Chains A and B, each alone.
Chain A
């Protein structure tokens, strides 16, 4: 398998062609906007958090195959998860993309298919965009600051630290 095949796996391409989380929510209480200035990718998300659980997520992503697929995988994996689980999974994705871990739990759906991105360092930011955008929105929500987050990716991977 070439590294291209590894990054653009069938699973990734499936998410890219038919992204999950497209359906608008009737109700939401978190919104967040992410932007990758190096390529212009933009992501808008609305989330419904109820009783500490992520009840719904709507994503509008204008980006490349990797950022779109990663956002789709995120929507699919996180719906119904608790607040703490969401943050833990987001940290796992980051560790996977940064090469700190090589495998993830089987119950994390298609997240493991993002591992192929690691061979393309310049594309790691694409895969991270949705996750850091969500975490920023949730953090603001938890701190009761504001319902919305705003993320602009810079050169560092530590956007949510």
Chain B
């Protein structure tokens, strides 16, 4: 039996993966599962290094989507016919899957949204409007994506509350030294990213959660960048809300998750009103449905939720521990190789146990936009700009950065092409 067949067997047998010590990912085989990676970009093989923006999708996810429309499509929860029943089962199966994926929570605590942005806005509006009042404090950090900043900014503005922030150190870690002064008795919620989309930093939650609990504040985690790459256990994190998006973890766009503690969600007034979220409606009185329906007004994004199940399956078959191991090794390789190129400076922590595979870098002479254009001509997709984190860019003193982000289908050959192209780029620009 050749190596690929062995690997194939393991992919179909999750138990086989679990019981052995961490075995490296077979990226050659994984690449074959992603049809888009066969695309030629500007005549070159696509080297996709922009998974922090959105991941590519394996064939099984694309097929799950078309299968759903070909064979199961129906509205959920309300029909009495067979298709409606099948669609409902498939939709609810993903919910149960998400619940186990994030550490074995109750399914009713898993709310489907359109994405992390929608999830955070739901909390900032539905929970925020009823629980934040004048003089209260909301705490975020300097490394937040606009999705975990703007909703809190607007909530603070609406309610005359104060938005405070945890600063970052020069190395790109959260500076928790003044935590007790930042999170105070007035703090009602602390919203922090699990992994920075710019710096790659993985934030520790123990001190933040301990301090928040002491003052009676809730903790929301922006998990958009962490859920695709780390084993998530929301109970171990001991937080109150966890939010993430399907599209960054092999699933379709348009699906997000808001996980919240049942006792908090139960008390929340829904953000959206309409069908499916009510128990009884009359012209005099309306009562809400039970969780999770209460939080999912209208016909949800059924097909994409159903296909998200296949993405979770795929990730679990590989194993989140193996994914993390692969990304740590590849990130170390990339950081080492990038640092050796003249003029290239990496932003964010360098220790791979404290960071993920989103690697921001700048060139001392070449603007990130020019870097991105040059790399694109070589078939390499990276992101250049402020990465929806303008306040962080100001802290870093940069207008923009280039960002290469790694995932399960990337290997050392991809990093080599990136680095060779950067060297070639500097020559092209006469440096």
Binding site for B on A (CB under 8 A): 2-4, 7-8, 13, 17, 37-42, 62-66, 120, 122-123, 126
Contact = CB atoms under 8 A, between A and B. Distances in A.
Contacts, number: 52
Given A4-B377, A8-B428, A13-B430, A41 B399 contact: yes
A64 B429 contact: no
B248 to A, nearest CB: 20
Interface of B: 366-370, 373-374, 377, 384-386, 390, 393, 399-400, 428-430
B416 to A, nearest CB: 20
A39 B374 contact: no
B400 A123 contact: no
Given A38-B385, A40-B399, A64 B367 contact: yes
Nearest to B387: A40
The 4 closest A-B pairs by CB, nearest first: A64-B367, A40-B399, A64-B369, A40-B400
B369 A13 contact: no
Q: Is the interface of A mostly helix, strand, loop or mixed?
A: mixed
B429 A8 contact: yes
Given A39-B368, A39-B400, 12 more contacts: A2-B377, A3-B377, A4-B373, A7-B373, A37-B386, A40-B386, A63-B369, A64-B367, A64-B369, A64-B370, A66-B369, A122-B373
B428 A4 contact: yes
Contacts of B385: 38-40
Contacts of A39: 367-369, 384-386, 399-400
Given A4-B428, A8-B428, A65-B367, A123 B373 contact: yes
Contacts of B374: 4
Contacts of A120: 373
A2 B424 CA distance: 14
Contacts of B377: 2-4
Contact of A62 (B366, B386, B399): B399
A8 to B, nearest CB: 7
A120 B377 CA distance: 10
A1 to B, nearest CB: 13
Contacts of A66: 369-370
B369 A126 contact: yes
B421 to A, nearest CB: 11
A100 B381 CA distance: 29
A63 B393 CA distance: 14
Given A13-B429, A40-B386, A65 B366 contact: yes
A63 B385 CA distance: 11
B152 to A, nearest CB: 20
